[in-house]
A and B are shown apart, each in its own frame.
Chain A
Amino acid sequence: MSDLTGPAPVTALGGAAFEGYVRVAEEPQRAMFTLRGDLSATAMKNAATGLAGVDMPGQGQAALNAERMVAWMSPDELLLTLPWAEHDKACAQLDATLGDPMLNWGDVSQARAHFSLSGPDGAVREVAAKLAPVDFSPAAFPQGSFRRSRMNQVAAAFWCPAPGRIEVICFRSVADYAFRLLSDAARPGSEVGLYA
């Protein structure tokens, strides 16, 4: 597992990118943590928002500022992402602040693959909608939305950080499958015009 334990961890696909009618790109490594427990607990909220510097997200939302994000995963789970440079410091801080045994955290930085879709807003939404049974229209999935679903055969989560951009995470073990799926969905000539 040298790619995970070496001095400079690498992403699953080495930053692969595909130029289709939407650009599909593997995102650089981020620090990524799962926080689990009572989301109304002060210690839980403070741990997540304190590290990320963003507000607590509501149900189905992601609060974000560039690489810093807190996303609502389920009634008892948050996803926290930070710049990779802050990984070690964040681990120490989570250890220190989440001492209550009913509040748990796990480092999932290297359990995930992370992609972005960028281009015209309607086209980006369409590529995502080709692969997941989700309504990605601007009304149903506005900026700041976070949605767990499946991307063809694999579990995936989608969020909309800005118009013309959707980001996706899935398990690292299916990174290649996910990248090929996304690239195929973005293949020039396969435009549908769903959200045109």
Chain B
Amino acid sequence: MLLLDCPCCGQRGEETEFHCGGEAHITREGPSSDDAAFEHYMFERVNPRGVHFERWRHVAGCGKWFHAARDTVTLEVWGTYPAQTSRPPEELLEKIRAARPGFKWRDIA
């Protein structure tokens, strides 16, 4: 079971109060992009064993979207942060680096 702290309403809830929206920080390529970039956006997802960054929605709560960083093996939640960003906050990355030295996720390490 995951315990998530919604950064939008401040409530701590367990995962059935939320809905996972898949991988975080995906660049949404538009009609002007080339085929490779569009394919990457449309189909290519990571499915890591360990540190992962995801979008979540507080569906049975305030209804807002946010980001979460967690470990897919241990179900530890490193932290949650606002949806309005294209990269995890540095202080959260510091925390993950300390707990999982040498982790790599996409271009984030």
Task: Report A's interface with B, CB cutoff 8 A.
Answer: 59-60, 73-75, 77, 133-135, 147-150, 155
Contact = CB atoms under 8 A, between A and B. Distances in A.
Q: Considering residues A60, A74, A77, which has the most beta carbons from chain B within 10 angstroms of its beta carbon?
A: A74
Nearest to A72: B9
B13 A74 contact: no
Given A74-B64, A148-B62, A155-B60, A133 B8 contact: no
Contacts, number: 37
Interface of B: 8-14, 16-17, 60-64
B103 to A, nearest CB: 30
A73 B17 contact: no
B8 A75 contact: yes
Contact of A150 (B8, B10, B60, B62): B60
Contact of B62 (A75, A133, A134): A75
A59 B9 contact: yes
Contacts of A150: 16-17, 60
B17 A149 contact: yes
B9 A75 contact: yes
Contacts of A135: 12
19 contacts: A60-B9, A60-B10, A74-B9, A74-B61, A74-B62, A74-B63, A74-B64, A75-B9, A75-B62, A77-B62, A133-B13, A133-B17, A134-B13, A147-B11, A148-B11, A148-B60, A149-B17, A150-B17, A150-B60
A140 to B, nearest CB: 9
Contacts of A155: 60
A44 B74 CA distance: 44
